[in-house]
Structure 1
Amino acid sequence: MTDRLKQYFNVRRDELLSVILAGLFFFCVLTALMLLRPAREALGLQGGIEAVRWLFVGTAFITLLVNPLFGVLVSRLPRLYFITATYAFFGLSLIGFYFLMVATPDVIGVTTGQVFYVWFSVFNLFVTMVFWALMADRFSLEQGKRLFGMIAVGGTCGAIFGPWLASLLAEPFGTPVLLLVSTAFLGLAVAMAWALAMQQPEKPQPGAELDPDAPPAVDEHAVIGGSAWAGFKAVFQSRYLMGIAAYAVILAIMATFLYFTRLQMVAALGDDMDYRTTIFARIDVITQVATLILQAFIAGHLMRRLGVHITLMLLPLTAALGFIGLALVASLAALIIFEACFRAVQRAIQRPARETLYTVVSREDKYKSKAFIDTFVYRGGDVVGAQVEGLLGRLGMGLAGIASVAVPLALVWAGLALWLGRAQQGLVGRLPVPQQDGPGKMAAAARR
């Protein structure tokens, strides 16, 4: 069994329990999110597509305000406590929305729907960011290359299970009950985080031989410390973190181009809501199946054999080829194929590879800088993408105009992926020994 696990999934026997717990953690997170995503889309679109572009601006602004608050939690609380506090905050918010929907259903309108859209977008960013931050803190770079793809399978299963559960519960119990179910899954996610932390390797004895590929031992009662704005400052002081931020911005722009292209093409088919729902469902099914296969059998092998830099290049190349094909063919079938390929590569291959970039930075940067990049910087890319797409549409340039911007940007994106992979390898040799933890131990190396 051990040989088969190593051959097909790149998992060693001593890692199996940790991988299962991490997968269950991500399953609970994605189930909680995907239970509510249909409601987010329906409420947000009440004001029209143009309003969605401005909702992106609102989301970016809110994430900028929330980041210092998260930085305070990271600075003052041990790891598991600030993770629990983050999930508890969003769980209590869900309970508040539930009572609002049940007690005063008449107030649910366009404005309330837009508030929920922005809140959910912030919720989505932070709960997934915290999960991957813990993964980068819990596993080493070598483990991340092998295991992050497999761990992401749990999230994909949650992304499939969440909508199915929503369809099962919404009609007999009503949409508001989905918020309570989502809260319950957030609670289960916290339980999985604590269970995973209990599997943290112990600090090696003095004089013992150190395994360079072993994950760093962490004192769960230790406080990371630093200031609330340390993550923001670190990004602008480090070429490596700036590179990760630039990669995230381009990713967000590309995803936004594709998102609004899908909205425009499906909207052009007519006003039949059932037909639109069917098209979106088909895209999601194809995407999730392809993602699951890539995550389970391919992602870990790609990173281990080709390296992080080549793996990070796959999504930029997919984007370039996809936008070229979409500009040439401009059909719904081409859109479905492109989006399924883009989302599958993004979730199964690019996301695990991108998260390994944080395994070589300080613990403070894993939570604070990562929070800034994965929330505000990413949403900033959304805003840029939405406004550029809208401008191209108003100029009447259509898919050809989008491709003329997206393809050169994808080539820059691919070059950035190569640089990040090589920079990561340069930082590996300057990592501290595994028993060290606390703020600033690796920051000096990461900021050169």
Structure 2
Amino acid sequence: MLKRFVDVRDEEVGAVLGAFVYFFTLMCGYAILRPIRNEMGTAGDVKQLPWLFTVTFGVMLLAVPAFSALVARYPRRVVVPRVYRFFLFNLLAFFALLKWGVAKEGVARAFYIWLNVYNLFVVSIFWSFMADVFASDQGKRLFGFIAAGGTTGMMVGPFLVGRLAEPVGPVNLILVSAVMLEVSAQCVRRLGHWARDVQHQPATREGPVGGGVLAGLRLLVTSPFLFALGLQVLLYAATSTFLYYQEVQLVASLAKDAASRTAAFADIDFWVQVLTLALQTLVTGRVISRLGLGVAMAVAPVLTLVGLGVLAFAPVLTVLIAVKSFRGASHYALERPSREILFTTVDREARYKSKSFIDTVVYRGSDMLSAWLQGGLTALGLGMMGLSLAAVPLAALWLAVALYLARQQRTRAAETLPQTTLPGGTTA
């Protein structure tokens, strides 16, 4: 049945389904938490968001070297599950504090910051693990379907929150997310066994990465290819922050209590993921295999350019939902899988350390700078029209970087062609 929709080999079926479930549970758990986080950010006053982004960035600066130290010393089968279970215990602690009503405002802000760290770390680790388990040619065939697992989770999560937030209460849904995270940790173990027993990866691929704790930053600034990948993430995050501010303001003006705000954010997330899943199942594989990474990576910035222009002259919630839906769908269905394919052409140190630095510190650094920039522009009197137009040049630069990366990928693929069929991937 799976072969009717995905170009998968017999020996890959179990691993692909396991990766699908892994990403589904990971993203479903996060999607349950995200509307709760957004409601806390809205309830805590939109004007405080730049400070929350700044603190988040500071936490990232501490967390990334700690993660680099772990992957340098311990094998992936140890590091990945333990990082997930560390976050699981954090979730249980937040549940207890929120349930008991301890320091509500402080705990709410801490939860907001924690989830901003959590979501980038767990997803970055997931894709680093995928790039380590699957080869480059496998990624082109399979990453679209695997990404659909995350999209399905991002649909199911908001759907559950939208229907359970009011009758059950948002805080109780945290326990469901904790269960999902434990299932994800179990999937890591099973995929590791498959990579060793079926993929026949050498023992060195499971071992510690080695290197220094700041290697991710060093590689980023010395490699034009990795630097461009970092710039791409920075520009995507910057435009996302501009749109997020407008979403928070529009929802805050329409929904007045915690449960209704949580449900509104969940509904927005739901429709973004519905369109994303449709694209991933019907379009992603065909675009990447037939039209190439250049087209796949260009769609999201082009739609962002158009969407910001439309939103500038029609700043209403229905238009925002449409813009976020098409933009988010193109990002998750086309750009994100394409970017993860690019990481299959770099060595393991860059795959775990530079990637985690880009996906976390660079992303949240962009959030922080964009938040303060938007705050400054708002203080100068720019309304939603001005803010939308101010983000247009960022989207244009994002498009240029995407096209550059696509050209580099063709060159790097040609240089490593003899190695691409080896089990476990290739190195740059």
Normalised to the residue count of structure 2, the TM-score between the two structures is: 0.91
**What are the superposed Cα offsets for residues 376-419 of structure 1, whole Å, 9 maximum, x if unpaired?**
00001111221222222222222332233322222211111111
**Which is worse superposed, 76-85 or 331-340?**
331-340
State yes or no: 1:287 paired with 2:287. no
Written as runs of structure 1 = structure 2, the 5 A alignment for 1:44-443 is 44-102=41-99, 105-166=100-161, 175-200=170-195, 219=204, 221-269=206-254, 271=256, 279-431=264-416, 433=419, 442=427
Q: 1:400 to 1:98 in 2, by over 3 A?
A: closer
The whole-number CA distance in structure 1 between the counterparts of 2:89 and 2:262 is 31
Q: 1:94 to 1:281 in 2, by over 3 A?
A: closer
Coordinate RMSD, CA, aligned: 2.6
Decide whether the 8 Å contact of 2:165 with 2:263 is kept in 1.
no
The alpha carbon displacement at 1:183 in A equals 2.2
Q: Which runs of 5+ in 1 are unaligned?
A: 204-213
**Which is worse superposed, 354-363 or 9-18?**
9-18
**What are the superposed Cα offsets for residues 328-386 of structure 1, whole Å, 9 maximum, x if unpaired?**
33333322211111111112221111111111000111111101000000001111221
| 1:209 equivalent in structure 2 | none
The whole-number CA distance in structure 1 between the counterparts of 2:268 and 2:299 is 20
The alpha carbon displacement at 1:170 in A equals 6.0
Q: 1:341 to 1:435 in 2, by over 3 A?
A: closer
The whole-number CA distance in structure 1 between the counterparts of 2:39 and 2:275 is 26
| 1:10 equivalent in structure 2 | 7
The whole-number CA distance in structure 1 between the counterparts of 2:369 and 2:200 is 37
Decide whether the 8 Å contact of 2:238 with 2:394 is kept in 1.
no
The alpha carbon displacement at 1:178 in A equals 3.1
The whole-number CA distance in structure 2 between the counterparts of 1:19 and 1:296 is 15
Q: 1:53 to 1:179 in 2, by over 3 A?
A: same
Decide whether the 8 Å contact of 1:247 with 1:416 is kept in 2.
yes
The whole-number CA distance in structure 1 between the counterparts of 2:216 and 2:394 is 27
How many residues get paired? Answer: 426
The whole-number CA distance in structure 1 between the counterparts of 2:154 and 2:121 is 17
The whole-number CA distance in structure 1 between the counterparts of 2:160 and 2:388 is 37
User: Which AA in structure 2 matches 1:32?
Assistant: G
The whole-number CA distance in structure 1 between the counterparts of 2:292 and 2:200 is 19
The whole-number CA distance in structure 2 between the counterparts of 1:353 and 1:97 is 35
The whole-number CA distance in structure 1 between the counterparts of 2:171 and 2:395 is 41
Q: 1:318 to 1:170 in 2, by over 3 A?
A: closer
**Which is worse superposed, 354-363 or 257-266?**
257-266
Return the index of the structure with the highest Cα Rg. Answer: 1
Decide whether the 8 Å contact of 2:39 with 2:262 is kept in 1.
no
The alpha carbon displacement at 1:322 in A equals 0.5
The whole-number CA distance in structure 2 between the counterparts of 1:70 and 1:275 is 37
Q: 1:218 to 1:359 in 2, by over 3 A?
A: farther
User: Which AA in structure 1 matches 2:95?
Assistant: Y
The alpha carbon displacement at 1:247 in A equals 0.3
**What are the superposed Cα offsets for residues 164-185 of structure 1, whole Å, 9 maximum, x if unpaired?**
4456766676555433332222
Q: 1:39 to 1:273 in 2, by over 3 A?
A: closer
User: Which AA in structure 1 matches 2:89?
Assistant: L
Q: 1:92 to 1:241 in 2, by over 3 A?
A: same
Q: 1:332 to 1:119 in 2, by over 3 A?
A: closer
Q: Which runs of 5+ in 2 are unaligned?
A: none
3-state SS of paired residue (1:9)? coil
Aligned-residue sequence identity (percent) comes to 37
Q: 1:168 to 1:410 in 2, by over 3 A?
A: closer
**Which is worse superposed, 65-74 or 222-231?**
222-231
The alpha carbon displacement at 1:15 in A equals 2.3
Q: 1:174 to 1:138 in 2, by over 3 A?
A: same
Decide whether the 8 Å contact of 1:126 with 1:375 is kept in 2.
yes
**Which is worse superposed, 114-123 or 88-97?**
88-97
The whole-number CA distance in structure 1 between the counterparts of 2:350 and 2:80 is 15
Q: 1:84 to 1:278 in 2, by over 3 A?
A: closer
Normalised to the residue count of structure 1, the TM-score between the two structures is: 0.87
**What are the superposed Cα offsets for residues 200-219 of structure 1, whole Å, 9 maximum, x if unpaired?**
1669xxxxxxxxxx996564
Comparing both structures, which one devotes a greater share of its residues to helix? Answer: 2
